[in-house]
Amino acid sequence: MADAAVRSTASGGGTTGGSGRPPVPPVADNRSVFVKLRDFYNGVMVEMRKVTWPDVPQVRSATISIIIFVLLLGLFITLLDFVLQGVLIKLIPSLFAGR
Protein backbone atom coordinates (compact mmCIF):
# COMPACT_ATOMS: atom_id res chain seq x y z
CA MET A 1 0.00 0.00 0.00
CA ALA A 2 2.83 2.40 0.81
CA ASP A 3 4.46 1.60 -2.54
CA ALA A 4 1.31 2.70 -4.36
CA ALA A 5 1.34 6.04 -2.56
CA VAL A 6 5.00 6.58 -3.41
CA ARG A 7 4.43 5.62 -7.03
CA SER A 8 1.42 7.92 -7.40
CA THR A 9 3.34 10.95 -6.15
CA ALA A 10 6.41 10.09 -8.20
CA SER A 11 4.40 9.65 -11.38
CA GLY A 12 3.34 13.27 -11.50
CA GLY A 13 0.06 13.20 -9.61
CA GLY A 14 -1.13 16.55 -8.32
CA THR A 15 -0.38 20.08 -9.48
CA THR A 16 3.36 20.07 -9.96
CA GLY A 17 3.48 22.01 -13.18
CA GLY A 18 4.22 18.87 -15.19
CA SER A 19 7.74 18.35 -13.83
CA GLY A 20 6.83 15.24 -11.84
CA ARG A 21 8.23 16.74 -8.66
CA PRO A 22 6.27 18.39 -5.88
CA PRO A 23 6.56 22.18 -5.75
CA VAL A 24 9.35 23.53 -3.59
CA PRO A 25 8.21 26.04 -0.98
CA PRO A 26 10.02 29.39 -1.02
CA VAL A 27 12.87 29.74 1.44
CA ALA A 28 12.69 32.63 3.90
CA ASP A 29 15.55 35.08 3.42
CA ASN A 30 16.48 36.38 6.86
CA ARG A 31 19.37 38.58 5.72
CA SER A 32 19.23 42.28 6.54
CA VAL A 33 18.33 44.83 3.91
CA PHE A 34 21.90 46.15 3.90
CA VAL A 35 23.36 42.69 3.23
CA LYS A 36 20.88 42.17 0.38
CA LEU A 37 21.76 45.60 -1.02
CA ARG A 38 25.49 44.86 -0.81
CA ASP A 39 25.02 41.49 -2.54
CA PHE A 40 22.94 43.13 -5.26
CA TYR A 41 25.57 45.83 -5.79
CA ASN A 42 28.36 43.23 -5.96
CA GLY A 43 26.37 41.23 -8.51
CA VAL A 44 25.80 44.34 -10.61
CA MET A 45 29.51 45.17 -10.54
CA VAL A 46 30.44 41.63 -11.62
CA GLU A 47 28.07 41.87 -14.59
CA MET A 48 29.23 45.39 -15.51
CA ARG A 49 32.82 44.14 -15.77
CA LYS A 50 31.63 41.62 -18.39
CA VAL A 51 30.18 44.35 -20.63
CA THR A 52 32.07 45.27 -23.79
CA TRP A 53 31.85 49.04 -23.82
CA PRO A 54 31.95 50.94 -27.14
CA ASP A 55 34.86 53.23 -27.89
CA VAL A 56 34.48 56.95 -28.64
CA PRO A 57 34.22 56.65 -32.46
CA GLN A 58 31.45 54.05 -32.13
CA VAL A 59 29.50 56.26 -29.72
CA ARG A 60 29.97 59.29 -31.96
CA SER A 61 28.81 57.36 -35.04
CA ALA A 62 25.75 55.97 -33.25
CA THR A 63 24.86 59.41 -31.87
CA ILE A 64 25.08 61.06 -35.29
CA SER A 65 22.98 58.28 -36.82
CA ILE A 66 20.30 58.69 -34.18
CA ILE A 67 20.21 62.49 -34.54
CA ILE A 68 19.86 62.20 -38.33
CA PHE A 69 17.12 59.58 -37.97
CA VAL A 70 15.17 61.72 -35.48
CA LEU A 71 15.44 64.80 -37.72
CA LEU A 72 14.26 62.85 -40.77
CA LEU A 73 11.39 61.31 -38.82
CA GLY A 74 10.38 64.76 -37.55
CA LEU A 75 10.46 66.12 -41.11
CA PHE A 76 8.36 63.21 -42.34
CA ILE A 77 5.76 63.69 -39.60
CA THR A 78 5.63 67.44 -40.29
CA LEU A 79 5.08 66.87 -44.01
CA LEU A 80 2.45 64.23 -43.30
CA ASP A 81 0.69 66.66 -40.96
CA PHE A 82 0.57 69.38 -43.63
CA VAL A 83 -0.70 66.93 -46.26
CA LEU A 84 -3.42 65.52 -44.01
CA GLN A 85 -4.41 69.01 -42.89
CA GLY A 86 -4.81 70.05 -46.53
CA VAL A 87 -6.87 66.96 -47.30
CA LEU A 88 -9.13 67.53 -44.31
CA ILE A 89 -9.61 71.20 -45.19
CA LYS A 90 -10.74 70.17 -48.69
CA LEU A 91 -12.98 67.32 -47.50
CA ILE A 92 -14.51 68.88 -44.39
CA PRO A 93 -14.35 72.68 -44.71
CA SER A 94 -16.85 73.23 -41.88
CA LEU A 95 -14.25 72.01 -39.35
CA PHE A 96 -11.89 74.81 -40.33
CA ALA A 97 -14.38 77.64 -40.90
CA GLY A 98 -12.68 79.89 -38.35
CA ARG A 99 -9.33 79.89 -40.15
Phi, psi of 34 (to 5 degrees): -70, -35
Question: Does residue 18 surpass a pLDDT of 70?
Answer: no
Residue 22, C-beta contacts closer than 8 angstroms, at least 6 positions apart: 9, 14, 16
More confident residue, 23 or 15: 23
Each residue of 19-32: pLDDT tens digit? 788 888 887 788 88
What's the Cα-to-Cα distance from 84 to each of 52, 60, 76, 93, 94, rounded to whole Å? 46, 36, 12, 13, 16
- pLDDT for position 98: 65
What's the Cα-to-Cα distance from 39 to each of 24, 26, 51, 96, rounded to whole Å? 24, 19, 19, 62
More confident residue, 26 or 44: 44
- pLDDT for position 21: 87
DSSP state, residue 99: -
- pLDDT for position 7: 52
In angstroms, rounded to a whole number, what is the distance separating the alpha carbons of residues 89 and 99?
10
- pLDDT for position 79: 98
